[in-house]
């Protein structure tokens, strides 16, 4: 079964970006981890990253139209993008919000997610393992 793993802005810079917060592993490592978790769960995983809100909205429309489940790390869009929220609200399959860090334990502006209320659920704070846990939730949900 196909599953999308969509990543928002700055996540291509994993490994060099604030490694004390996001760890030393790179985006390529994340792609490999998701594909491997997918293999174990019988899911065929398509991992993408963009810094562009419009592109991410377009990918979510694609997922809605094809009824494909999504694991989504909206990155900073989490905290302010109503366009993303409205795109997620159109979902026709489970969508799990993921975060590498635990935003609730960080700066005040990260405490609110404008997308959490339209997601199936959220996994946060487990490093890159958050994605593997989210894929497992999708495998058991869908
Ligand atoms: C993040 C948390 C967000 O607050 C931040 O803007 C990110 C990454 C995470 O995975 O921990 O870019 O979504």
Enumerate domains of the chain plus CATH numbers. Answer: 2-141 (3.40.50.9100)
Contact status, residue 15 vs residue 25, Cβ threshold 8 Å: yes
Q: How far is CA 138 from CA 35, 54, 88, 106, 131, in A?
A: 14, 25, 16, 27, 10
Query: For residue 1, what pLDDT band results from cuts at 50, 70 and 90?
Result: very high
Q: Is 26 in the pocket of ligand 1 (CB under 6 A)?
A: no
ipTM (interface pTM): 0.99
**pLDDT digit string, tens, across residues 42-86:** 999 999 999 999 999 999 999 999 999 999 999 999 999 999 999
* Residues linked to residue 95 through DSSP beta bridges, in sequence order: 70
CA of 11 to the centre of ligand 1 (A): 8
CA of 27 to the centre of ligand 1 (A): 14
- Record the pTM: 0.97
* List of residues 6+ apart from 107 with CB closer than 8 A: none
Residue 22 known to be catalytic: yes
**110 assigned to a ligand binding site:** yes
Q: Is 76 in the pocket of ligand 1 (CB under 6 A)?
A: yes
Q: What is the C-alpha separation between 93 and 89, in angstroms, rounded? A: 11
């Amino acid at each position: 079964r196909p599953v999308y793993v969509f990543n928002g802005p700055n996540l291509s810079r994993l490994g060099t970006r604030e490694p004390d917060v996001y760890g030393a592993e790179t985006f390529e490592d994340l792609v490999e981890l998701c594909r491997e978790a997918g293999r174990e769960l019988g899911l065929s995983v398509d991992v993408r990253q963009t810094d562009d809100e419009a592109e991410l909205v377009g990918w979510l429309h694609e997922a809605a139209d094809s009824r494909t489940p999504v694991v989504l790390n909206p990155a900073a869009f989490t905290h302010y993008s109503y366009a993303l929220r409205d795109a997620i609200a159109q979902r026709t399959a489970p969508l799990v919000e993921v975060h590498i860090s635990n935003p609730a334990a960080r700066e005040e502006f990260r405490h609110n997610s404008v997308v959490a209320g339209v997601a199936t659920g959220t996994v946060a704070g487990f490093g890159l393992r958050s994605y593997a846990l989210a894929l497992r939730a999708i495998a058991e949900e869908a």
